[in-house]
Amino acid sequence: MSVILQATVISKVYTLGRSGEYQALKDVSLTIEQGEFVSVMGPSGSGKSSLLYCVSGMDKVSSGSISFAGLELDQLTEKDLAELRLQKMGFVFQQGNLLRNLSIIDNIVLAAYMGGSLKRADINQRAIELMQKTGILDLKDKDISQVSGGQMQRAAICRALINQPDMLFADEPTGALNLAATSEVMQILTTLNQEGMTIMLVTHDAKVAARSTRVLFMQDGQIVGEFKQGPLTSQADLPEQDGQLEQADLLDQSDQRDQADQPEQADLLPKTGQLDQAGLAQQSVLKARENSLSEWLAEQGF
């Protein structure tokens, strides 16, 4: 594995009006390897967004250094830094930040047109593939006021991916979504990571962080804890000791499966794939991971 992002003893001091300064990051060091899916958790105001914005070059650090894909960010001109962000980094925010009065597809392709290195036909083709992959192809010509929050976030993910970045940064991407939409968006991010995309994501939701390979816990401008849980696989990494916890879930679902075997009941069941074996296995693995992570977070005082 090779390092994609390295932050070395970075600090971030915000200058406030009359009241002086506030140090949001205090000598934070962080290394992210290619292919990792890192979640950042911690109380509100602990510096999670500041960390994400600083390591991605969206904001300047007050001291320390950051290298991304072998480039020292503080040695780049503003123009080269903007180009690096546009071409090599994808961003997803809590609110989609899509442009009103533009269709979904136009929002997605805009960043690639700005990039200027690809043919328009290729960009459009790529946008269509991304929309297909995230399940929003039928919405491509809709205005963003006509789609749900979850659909908007899926479009925001397509936009973030249009230039084929090396890494995706997401600040509370599910913060404004309901449970179902959260799960859809997270399934997309999980698949992307399983295909090799490096992801750094800020969240306060253990259900969301349960999908990442490593969780950092921040407090008062510092990373104070780290929880490694490895890649999410669909089965076989169910911890033995959590067997009891899972039994209840699996029982529920095996009930559904029994019903599905009876033809007269089968049609009454939702056809959303809950009965699919791999999906079931992944759900129970996720539940076990969420439980272990929640325990760890409780130990951190979260």
Q: Identify the DSSP state of 15.
A: E
113 binds, among ligand ADP, Mg ion, none (CB under 5 to 8 A by kind): none
Q: Give the shortest CB-174-to-ligand ADP separation in angstroms.
A: 15
Q: What part of residues 177-196 is at the interface with ligand ADP (CB under 6 A)?
A: none
Residue span binding Mg ion (CB under 5 A) among the ranges 44-52, 212-220, 252-260, 269-277: 44-52
In DSSP notation, 100-148 reads: TTSBHHHHHHHHHHHH-SS-HHHHHHHHHHHHHHTT-GGGTTSBGGGS-
Residues 6+ apart with CB under 8 A from 248: none
Query: How far apart are the C-alpha atoms of 9 and 39, rounded to whole Å?
Result: 19
CA distances from 22 to 15, 74, 221 (A): 6, 22, 10
Q: What part of residues 78-107 is at the interface with ligand ADP (CB under 6 A)?
A: none
Q: Give the shortest CB-173-to-ligand ADP separation in angstroms.
A: 13
Cα 230 off chain centre by: 16
**Contact at 8 Å (CB) between 126 and 81?**
no
Binder to ligand ADP among 14, 114, 180, 239 (CB under 6 A)?
A: 14
Q: Give the shortest CB-95-to-ligand ADP separation in angstroms.
A: 15
1 binds, among Mg ion, ligand ADP, none (CB under 5 to 8 A by kind): none
Of 134 and 169, CB closest to ligand ADP: 169
**Contact at 8 Å (CB) between 90 and 134?**
no
Q: Give the shortest CB-9-to-ligand ADP separation in angstroms.
A: 18
Residue span binding ligand ADP (CB under 6 A) among the ranges 14-22, 79-87, 100-108, 157-165: 14-22
Q: Give the shortest CB-259-to-Mg ion separation in angstroms.
A: 43
Nearest to 166 by CA among 256, 86, 252: 86
Q: Degrees (nearest 5) of the Cα angle 168, 232, 35?
A: 35
Cα 59 off chain centre by: 19
Residue span binding Mg ion (CB under 5 A) among the ranges 46-54, 68-76, 82-90, 242-250: 46-54
96 binds, among Mg ion, ligand ADP, none (CB under 5 to 8 A by kind): none
Residue span binding Mg ion (CB under 5 A) among the ranges 42-50, 228-236, 275-283, 289-297: 42-50
Q: Identify the DSSP state of 231.
A: -
Tokens of 138: 């039928």
Q: With binding defined as CB under 5 A, does residue 39 bind Mg ion?
A: no
Q: Give the shortest CB-9-to-Mg ion separation in angstroms.
A: 22
Of 46 and 134, CB closest to ligand ADP: 46
- Give phi and psi for 177, each to the nearest 5: -110, 155
Query: How far apart are the C-alpha atoms of 84 and 210, rounded to whole Å?
Result: 30
Of 25 and 162, CB closest to ligand ADP: 25
Q: What part of residues 20-79 is at the interface with ligand ADP (CB under 6 A)?
A: 22, 24, 42, 44-50
Q: Is the dihedral of CA 16, 19, 20, 25 positive or negative?
A: negative
Tokens 């916890």 sit at which residue?
245
Binder to Mg ion among 49, 103, 212, 282 (CB under 5 A)?
A: 49
What is the binding site for Mg ion (CB under 5 A)?
49
What is the binding site for ligand ADP (CB under 6 A)?
14, 16, 22, 24, 42, 44-50
